[in-house]
């Protein structure tokens, strides 16, 4: 059974960053700057997404000697579906309240 749980706010931020340019490969530090997350928060999210097959990664070798290769990331089709789900606008707060809570003075 597939687990369906709403992504956390941080994961949603990462997904939104990817969703802005779905076909582009992204660097980790660029995502840090774009989402405002610390590296210690971003990388575990990327690891989880990759573990679930929602993120693909590849190494980019530098043309200059002595410069380490960099990791690049891109959402898979499953990841893009998750991003679409996560970035879907939530119902207005007033609508939720009207549905969930009895109105004052109501029966």
Torsion, Cα of 59, 60, 66, 67 (10° steps):
-100
Q: Tell me the sheet residues that pair with 74.
A: 56
| Shortest distance, position 78 Cβ to another protein, whole Å | 15
- Judged by the rule CB under 8 A, the positions of this chain that interact with another protein are 27-29, 32, 38-44, 46-48, 50-51, 56-59, 61-62, 64-71
* Minimum distance, C-beta of residue 53 to another protein, in the bound complex (Å): 11
Name the residue nearer to another protein (CB basis): 47 or 96.
Answer: 47
Question: Within 10 A of 79 (CB to CB), how many other CB atoms are there?
Answer: 22
- Find the shortest distance in angstroms from Cβ 32 to another protein: 7
The conformation of residue 53, written as its DSSP 8-state character, comes to: T
What length does the chain have?
A: 107
Residue 53 vs 96, nearer CB to another protein: 53
Residue corresponding to tokens 């992204």? 26
Query: Which CB atom, from 34 or from 56, has the smaller least distance to another protein?
Result: 56
Nearer to another protein, 9 or 93 (CB): 9
């Amino acid at each position: 059974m597939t687990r369906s749980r709403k992504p956390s706010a941080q994961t949603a931020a990462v997904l939104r960053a990817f969703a802005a340019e779905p076909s582009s490969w992204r660097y980790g530090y660029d995502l840090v700057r774009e989402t405002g997350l610390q590296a210690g928060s971003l990388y575990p999210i990327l690891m989880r997404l990759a573990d679930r097959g929602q993120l693909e990664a590849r190494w980019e070798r530098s043309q200059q000697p002595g410069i380490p290769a960099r990791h690049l990331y891109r959402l898979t089709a499953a990841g893009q579906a998750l991003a679409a789900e996560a970035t879907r606008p939530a119902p207005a707060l007033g609508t939720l309240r009207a549905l969930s809570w009895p109105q004052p003075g109501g029966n």
